[in-house]
Structure 1
Amino acid sequence: MNRKKVILACEVCRSRNYSTPKSVTERLTKNKFCKKCNAQTLHKEEK
């Protein structure tokens, strides 16, 4: 299975902070630190 590079965006401020490899088919969500919000928030995969 190929790994795709996806971009993760903050749920609160919508800033794109992280990129990560992905090999699963469902949408990726991670709890990461957002520099703009200065807090740990949920980051979801961008389209």
Structure 2
Amino acid sequence: MKRQLISAETFFITKSKELATNYDAVIIEDLDMKGMSQALNFGKSVHDNG
């Protein structure tokens, strides 16, 4: 388990450094997939992407 945590931590550190180096801005959006599928009648297509 500890090895997996170290691997995940290494991934996030590496990826965040790559994003910070290559881009001026990084936008993160927290989408409500359940709400979108119900309100917009997207149904299964929204859940397949989430």
Q: TM-score normalised to the size of structure 2? A: 0.20
The structure where helix makes up a greater share of residues is 2
Task: Kindly indicate which of the two structures has a greater share of residues assigned to strand.
Answer: 1
Larger Rg: 2
TM-score when normalising by structure 1? 0.20
Higher relative contact order (CA 8 A, sep 6+): 1
